Chains A and B, each alone.
Chain A
Amino acid sequence: MLLANNISFKRNTKIILDNINLTLSPRKIIHVTGNNGSGKTTLLKILTCILEPSVGQVFWNGKKIKKDPFNFYKDVTLIMDKQTSNLTLTVKENILFWKKLFSSSINMKEIDSILDLLSLREYNNTLTSNLSYGEIKKLELSRLVIEQKKLWVLDEPYLGLDNHSTNLINQTLINHIKSDGMVIFSSHFSPNVPNLEILHLENYA
């Protein structure tokens, strides 16, 4: 279970987050909403121990994530709003890199079926720089299945995706929470998925 307690974040003198509390238990999805600049990405970074909050603590299964982040990272997949796939590598090389980096037990057959689902298999040996924005985003999202972690933290996962891919992501989220997973994502799009809780962030001028 992920628990964020009284999270506040200031950059210089500007308040970005003020007293945010959240509890994410298995089989639950939290949708973080808010206007541009309301701190959605900052909150997700704090929840994954990349940023340190000015005030407050984040707990994973009752333990402070700051004390042993690597133990926490064994259970978390973070999909950022940026594309971490390297543009000079092919689709397959990027996937094999992630598989090795996260010591994933997924086999090549499973990887091929994911690529089939995402309509990326034909681009297996294509340089990532030759893919469209949406295709690179789909490649990025394939990390969710490759890493096989319990908690998914997704920053703008629907950005640049077509209807088919959006439905596919929704289905993947539903399957994940059915198998006791947890998801927290930020988006301006409201997907139709069960067990969804909305956390709205305000702007602090």
Chain B
Amino acid sequence: MRSINSILALFSREFLITYRNFADILSIFLFFLLGIMIFVFSIGPNSEIFNQIGIGIIWTLILFSNNLTLRKFYQDDFNDGSIILFHMSGLSYEIIVLIKLIAIWLFFQIPFFIIIPIATILLNIEIFNIKIIFLSFLIGSPILTSIASISGSMNLLNNKNFAIGSLIVMILSIPIIIFNVGMINASEEVIKAQLSILLGILFFFLAITPWISAACIKLALQNK
């Protein structure tokens, strides 16, 4: 009961903080939409090309937008010692990571379901492909959040080179981008196979992320 109270408290705190910093979410989505527009302006009005590469553009920008949430994960709570407080309330670092993962996914990834349709209109993508984008985003976004969590926790003591965090995310995201973009214009059988592989990657990351991030947090606390 005590732990459930702590989990609920932590979750509602995350919600309140995100709500107070709503401008952060807005700027991420604005970045995403502006990125799409820059592609549209630079390629020109050629619907054929957009139908072929539109999904790639969307996924590339989702990945870049995801990079903007990296420091939202643990940095503030680590710097002000809140993470120690959460731990002392009876939550293991693994559970704290899991709560953060769910919170960041809900607050920073789920709203993409509203923004992606706008992007598909801008890129003139076919209806069938939009369904696939949604499905692949539903599976791909928690993977990206997990990778961001790993990168965020690995860089807790890194106050100089912020770019390295984004590099880690980009390297680890390559397979996700390949399988997500590969689904477009593929036959139904190939789509099923790709989805299965993506689900496999998702479960793999969901299984390892709490342990890896928690180990990084413990290491950072020990060396601070």
Interface residues of A (CB under 8 A from B): 11, 48, 50-52, 70, 73-74, 76, 78, 80, 82-84, 86, 88-89, 93, 97, 100-103
Contact = CB atoms under 8 A, between A and B. Distances in A.
Given A83-B80, A101-B85, A88 B20 contact: yes
Interface string B190-224: 00000000000000000000000000000001110
Interface stretch (B7-15, B45-53, B56-64): B7-15
B182 interface: no
B6 A103 contact: yes
Interface of B: 1-2, 5-6, 8-10, 12-13, 16-17, 20-21, 79-82, 84-90, 221-223
A107 to B, nearest CB: 16
Contact of A50 (B82, B89, B221): B221
Given A51-B221, A52-B222, A82 B89 contact: no
22 contacts: A11-B223, A50-B87, A51-B221, A74-B90, A78-B88, A80-B81, A83-B80, A84-B81, A86-B13, A86-B17, A86-B82, A93-B16, A100-B5, A100-B6, A100-B8, A100-B9, A101-B5, A101-B89, A102-B6, A103-B1, A103-B2, A103-B6
B18 to A, nearest CB: 10
Given A89-B20, A97-B9, A100-B5, A84 B85 contact: yes
Contacts of B16: 88-89, 93
Contacts of B9: 97, 100-101
